[in-house]
Structure 1
Amino acid sequence: MQTFLPYPDFARSARVLDRKRLGKQRVETLQVLRAATVPGYGWYRHPATAMWAGHVPALVAYGRAMVDEWTARGGADSTGWQIREFAPEAWDRAPDDDVAPPPPWLGDEAFHRSHRSNLLRKDEELYRAVFPGDPAGLDYVWPVPAEGRTPPAEPPHGRRAWVLAPGAHEAAGGAVVVPFRVPDGVRESHWVQAVARVEEELREGEPVLLLHGPPGPEQVVERTVLGENVHHAVGGFSLELERGDRVLRRDLPAPARLQSPRPVFAVPAEAVGADPGAPRV
């Protein structure tokens, strides 16, 4: 995993990348963003994640440069809206606006030279004309990560809202059922874990968000509150929910929090505009 930066300038870096690597940078930007912020996503300790720690807006601006160049070359894109969710203000900035604060390693010639060298190693025939004065095969220069980094974690009782992805919930009369059977497109191991969390961790009075439809800025988010503790029903666990409102995903305070790969997960209540209340015992 790598976010290639042969130059300090994001747009200039994007322009010199070959199509294969340019396309991959969009995906890897999204992976690093999720690794840094989504609990349980993985890749947190990878040096490509560590070097961007504390600089999410700058990474979003980098992703924007890669997406812009990719689409300018005629490529179709599905990553842009997902990258934007992590820092809309950085994505929406004017091209000549600075991203503050930039990572401290941005502009370090040894760092950028190592990226040019590794691009030469990957395809010397293509990149020799682009980087005529650089050697091939240097080791990557990995910036030292900031001290005190801790992996992203779910919030505790009293500060969280639960999220049920599409497929993780079904209407059943006036209630919502989390089915025992594994939904389409969900790993069995993830679903076993999700069902166990519903039974063991959801508490009366906690906010529960039901996601409807495919992911995207227009995805409908139904905000509810668990009216009483979870109980068994035919084919699943039944949730008696006190209905709240419906909003579009794009209108949430921090919609990127919904990018977990898990079908059932918890997010900070304030990130989705929910009142955590006081869970009843």
Structure 2
Amino acid sequence: MKKKVIMLSMLAITAAMLTACSDKNDAADVPEVSQAEKSIENTDTDSSAEAAEESTENVEKDSEVKGSDYVMPEEYQNVLDKYKTMITEKWDVSKAFDEGMSSMVSEFCNMDAQDQIGYTLYDLDADGQPELLIGEMDTELPANRIIFDAYTLKDGNAVQIFESESRNRYYLVEDEAGAILIANEGYNGAASSGWLYYTVSGDRLTVQQAIMYDAAADEENPWFMAYDDDWDTSNDEPVDEDMAQSVINSYTDNYAKLDWTILVQE
């Protein structure tokens, strides 16, 4: 009996020793992480957190100065600041004209409708550089989708492309084929009107088509198709009224509803 107890004890001791050896070997297989490595890991984690935070801040900053999908250039901001002064001080039409700015904006101010004046950035000639547009925010009716003023960047300066006046208004056309045009509706009186359609290249407008109404030239047949903007119908093609209205309507139906940002907050 004693021998049996001794044998069992020895087996238990041997098993314990083997277990201890196994634990040591497992511990030896796990590499020890040095303090330097721990420091690097912590630094990497901190850097990632800082980078993420900085990226978020940059997005927030960009969103504050974006119109459409573009960042607002400083030169355009200067133009907007001048318009804000014009609106808050309620310049009259003559002062707006003298400053080379749209007198229609001053008319809106004097009607206490300054909350209808907005701005946006839009690439008119698809060159990757957006133009600054200032216009009427009420876009429900095509006739109200007026572009009061338009600027582009040239040699580091904001250069005016066109400006609207009461009897000479500009609109943005986005046709179904994706073309971008500028429509100009001009009136020289009851007997003379024009609907002209331009492409934009930099600060230049190039006429593509025009419909002219000139009762002084031919009272019986006053409608003409033109491909210039000289308002001289003597070299233009006479068309009937239905044809003329069809062309005008095809553009008017595509006057763009732009995503305006109000220029002056109350």
TM-score under structure 2 length normalisation: 0.23
Which gives a bigger RCO, structure 1 or 2 (Cα 8 Å, sep 6+)? 1
Higher strand share: 2
More helix by share: 2
Between structure 1 and structure 2, the one with the greater Rg is 2
